[in-house]
Amino acid sequence: MSSDPITSASLVRMKKKGERIVCLTCYDAAFCRVLEAAGVDVLLVGDSLGMVLQGQATTVPVNLEHMVYHTRCVSNVRERALLIADMPFLSYATPQRAFSAAERLMGEGGAAMVKLEGGAAVVETVRALTRFGAPVCAHLGLLPQSVHQLGGYRYQGKDDASSAAIRADALSLQDAGASMLVLECVPQQLASDLSVELEIPVIGIGAGNRCNGQVLVLHDLLGLTPGRRPRFSHNFMDGSSSIAEAIVAYVTAVRSGKFPGPEHTLF
């Protein structure tokens, strides 16, 4: 494995070579070191920290101060992996607010890319951010920040109309300059088609194993999430003797295409 820092261009090259991209959420320096040692390509400081670290019911209460703080904790020790930070709820409601949030997440936090949720409503914001040098990871399908509007955490794109809308949004976001796309909880065939059709890498979570890469919430991988684990996740601590071994097992399973398996895919 190369020791060169990973960039968005590196991920495009991996996609072209058919090399699966390994992503995980990360919220602090200690886990950053463990994840990088295991060979994780992309570290996502997700607003999922609201649920797994703060005990919130959703990601909505997470604010920009939280995100900047945790991004800085990771970037202080990050050496190789690409560091992406989530833009929190409504922090990108206008291009002006998005500029301010991206400035802090990248300037103070040390992120190399910012991630935001949504389709047509955020296309011009993505275009504005990338025009001024802020790389963007888009996010379609199940949008956790819109959970109150969606009425719960439900699979998206299950019918022809919603599937076509996601595809149209994906193409528009790529055209606007997005460097990567996360597809969450969509049918495997839709994710597979977009992974081929788009030039940018497509990272799946609950979207089958035909994407260009996979991402999981770290605490799901370690079996630390209370209650019922999401169907698309797997407890890699089962059969592992340490946290580091579990993370290596995840990296190996993603690279080989063994994870996710059929049992992790609903459609």
Instruction: Give the C-alpha separation, 155 to 50, whole Å.
Output: 21
Cα angle 186, 243, 105 (rounded to 5 degrees) comes to 60
Distance from C-alpha of 93 to C-alpha of 107, rounded to nearest angstrom: 20
CA dihedral sign of residues 166, 178, 253, 219 = negative
Using alpha carbons only, what angle is made at residue 20 by residues 263 and 171, rounded to the nearest 5 degrees? 90
Asked if residue 98 lies in contact with residue 144, where contact means CB atoms within 8 angstroms, the answer is no
What is the distance between the alpha carbons of residues 50 and 44, in angstroms, rounded to a whole number? 14
Residues tagged active-site: 184
